[in-house]
């Protein structure tokens, strides 16, 4: 069992610096490492740094890689489903914006999806 006095722990924590200071210090190391052309292991050996801590801070500091996904606004039209006696041959009537589509019992789902997509763009 190891006993540590509270005053000693507080003093040790103060001497380690704030997270912002550490982040700034590690950012400098990561920049210098990138410019050095050395491997991470070589840089850590030269500067007396822990390779594990170097990797930890590198992951936390580096920007995430750019993403090829572009978000675009999408207009929404309420789609209402209800059974209707309006169309004698229809099992279902679908309202897309201002359009009414009567769907028969043997409809093709792919064709319906394309039709709804086209109507939403009009």
State which residues of the chain have pLDDT below 50: 1-15, 86-87
Predicted confidence (pLDDT) per residue in 16-50, tens digit: 568 889 889 999 999 999 999 999 999 999 999 99
Q: How far apart are CA 21 and CA 118, in angstroms?
A: 56
Global confidence as pTM: 0.40
CB 82 within 8 A of CB 73: no
Residue 20: the pLDDT is 85
């Amino acid at each position: 069992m190891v006993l540590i006095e509270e005053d000693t722990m507080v003093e040790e924590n103060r001497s380690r610096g704030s997270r912002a200071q550490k982040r700034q210090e590690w950012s400098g190391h990561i920049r210098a490492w990138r410019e050095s052309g050395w491997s991470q292991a070589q840089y850590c050996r030269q500067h007396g740094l822990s390779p594990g801590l170097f990797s930890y801070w590198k992951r936390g500091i580096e920007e995430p890689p750019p993403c090829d996904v572009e978000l675009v606004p999408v207009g929404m039209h309420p789609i209402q489903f209800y059974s209707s006696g309006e169309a004698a041959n229809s099992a279902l009537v679908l309202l897309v914006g201002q359009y009414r589509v009567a769907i028969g019992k043997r409809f093709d789902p792919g064709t319906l999806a394309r039709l709804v997509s086209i109507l939403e763009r009009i």
